[in-house]
Amino acid sequence: MEVIVFSVIAIGVLGIVSAIILYFVAQKFKVYEDPRIDEVTEILPSANCGGCGYAGCRNFAESCVKAESLDNFNCPVGGNDLMKKISAILGKDAAEREPKIAVVRCSGSPEHRKRTNKYDGAVSCTIASALYSGETDCSYGCHGFGDCVTVCKFDAIYIDEQTKLPVIADEKCTACGACVTACPKAIIELRKKYPKDRKIFVSCVNKDKGGISKKACAVSCTGCTACVKECKFDAIKIENFLAYINFEKCTLCRKCVEVCPTKAINEINFAPRKIKAELGEKQEKITKDDLKVSEKVEIKKSSETDNIQEDKKKETDN
């Protein structure tokens, strides 16, 4: 009995003495940290994607608190809403930014772009492109090994099984830019986010002369200038046999899509076009093809919902 009492007292006294020492030490060496850093960190997405250019969300919050104005800060994930909240906490103004979205500029699916050799090395786009130009004759196009998929922290990219090309899930993409830096072929670009995630872009980065690029891939941009002539807004420029649509000037009129002979200009998330009876055969063909494109998009969406339904069924079965 005595032994227990003594040990309890001894350990209790030791504990109290150490607690007092620790309290004073903690007071003496206290590091003052702005409480606003915690507040800002709280509202950040904590994905630590690095899209803002800082090493994680906490680092971004610290830098925001330290900085004099928030003009050079932008969290691509939270967007303008989040920046407004941060500016309310810190009492500093934040510049409005246009929301952006990632776009894959290659349509070279196996059906359009013939595989001329087989790669059996490490499954990585960076390694493959350091070794050689790729499995097709187009040395600019997508490898399809999915470096962009691995690097995406938001699960916003997947490789389509049929086209073997990356597809961006518009609702998930935060435009953090991780995929843009990861892609060794510089195919992915951040473009302006239009309402309903509508996109119009030249889905090709091939800088070869028209004949060579057309031979390598049926849907490549040949630099034929048809789109440049059609565009009334001076939004399209051709450099090195490659057209580029300036998203600052583009009005989504879709005229360029119609005239492109190789279907290198893509339109995504648009309503199907109406077929006009009085149009000539040639144009009718184009519109029909376009219909197919928009149908495809719809099919994808419906298949996604199917999957979800199936999953739910499975759950209920279980």
Partner 1 sequence: MFKTFKKGGVHPPENKISAEKKIETLQIPAVVTIPISQHLGAPAGVIVKKGDKVKTGQIIAKSSGYISANIHSSVSGTILKIDETLDSTGYKKLAIAITVEGDEWETTIDRSTDLKKEIKYSSDEIIKKIEESGVVGLGGATFPSHVKISIPKGKKADILIINGVECEPYLTSDHRLMLEKADEMLIGIQIIMKALDVKRAVIGIENNKPDAIEHLTKVSKNYQGIEICPLKVKYPQGGEKQLIKAIINREVPSGKLPIDVGTVVHNVGTVFAVYEAVQKNKPLIERVVTITGKSVKNPSNYWVRIGTPISALIEAAGGLPEDTGKIINGGPMMGKTVTSTEVPVTKGTSGILLVPQQESERGEIQNCIRCAKCVFVCPMGLEPYLLMPYAEKQLWDEAEKSKILDCIECGSCSYTCPSFRPLLDYIRLGKSNVGKIIRSRNK
**Phi-psi region at 240: left, alpha or beta (left = phi > 0; alpha = psi -120 to 50):** left
3-state secondary structure 241-298: CEEEECCCCCCCCCHHHHHCCCCCEEEECCCCCCCCCCCCHHHHHHHHHHHHHHHHHH
- Structure tokens, 101: 């979205």
Provide, rounded to whole angstroms, the least separation between the CB of residue 172 and partner 1: 23
Q: Which CB atom, from 84 or from 207, has the smaller least distance to partner 1?
A: 207
Provide, rounded to whole angstroms, the least separation between the CB of residue 128 and partner 1: 9
Residue 200, helix vs strand vs coil: strand
Instruction: Determine, following the binding rule CB under 8 A, whether residue 127 of this chain makes contact with partner 1.
Output: yes
**Distance, CA of 78 to CA of 174 (rounded, Å):** 8
Identified binder of partner 1 from the candidate list 3, 4, 31, 130, rule CB under 8 A: 130
Q: What residues numbered 137-156 form the site for partner 1, per CB under 8 A?
A: 139
Contact pattern from residue 59 through residue 98 relative to partner 1, giving x for each residue in contact according to CB under 8 A and a dash for the rest: ----------------------------------------
Please check whether residue 146 is in contact with residue 159, taking contact to mean a CB–CB distance below 8 angstroms: yes
Identified binder of partner 1 from the candidate list 109, 133, 181, 287, rule CB under 8 A: 133
Q: Which CB atom, from 215 or from 276, has the smaller least distance to partner 1?
A: 215
Provide, rounded to whole angstroms, the least separation between the CB of residue 180 and partner 1: 16
Instruction: Determine, following the binding rule CB under 8 A, whether residue 208 of this chain makes contact with partner 1.
Output: yes
**Distance, CA of 155 to CA of 178 (rounded, Å):** 12
Contacts of 289 (CB under 8 A, 6+ apart): 263
**Distance, CA of 237 to CA of 243 (rounded, Å):** 6
Handedness of CA 135, 263, 266, 252 (dihedral sign): positive
Q: Which CB atom, from 62 or from 137, has the smaller least distance to partner 1?
A: 137
Number of residues forming the site for partner 1 (CB under 8 A): 16
Estimate the crossing angle of helix 79-90 against helix 56-66, to 10 degrees: 50
Contact pattern from residue 105 through residue 124 relative to partner 1, giving x for each residue in contact according to CB under 8 A and a dash for the rest: -----------xx--xxxxx
Handedness of CA 132, 136, 137, 141 (dihedral sign): negative
Provide, rounded to whole angstroms, the least separation between the CB of residue 117 and partner 1: 5
Q: Which CB atom, from 97 or from 153, has the smaller least distance to partner 1?
A: 153
Q: Which stretch binds partner 1 (CB under 8 A): 89-97, 130-138, 230-238, 270-278?
A: 130-138
Query: Which residues lie across from 159 on neighbouring strands?
Result: 166
Q: What residues numbered 209-248 form the site for partner 1, per CB under 8 A?
A: none
Instruction: Determine, following the binding rule CB under 8 A, whether residue 126 of this chain makes contact with partner 1.
Output: yes
Q: Which CB atom, from 37 or from 127, has the smaller least distance to partner 1?
A: 127
Instruction: Determine, following the binding rule CB under 8 A, whether residue 131 of this chain makes contact with partner 1.
Output: yes
Provide, rounded to whole angstroms, the least separation between the CB of residue 208 and partner 1: 8
Residues in contact with partner 1 by CB under 8 A are 116-117, 120-124, 126-127, 130-134, 139, 208
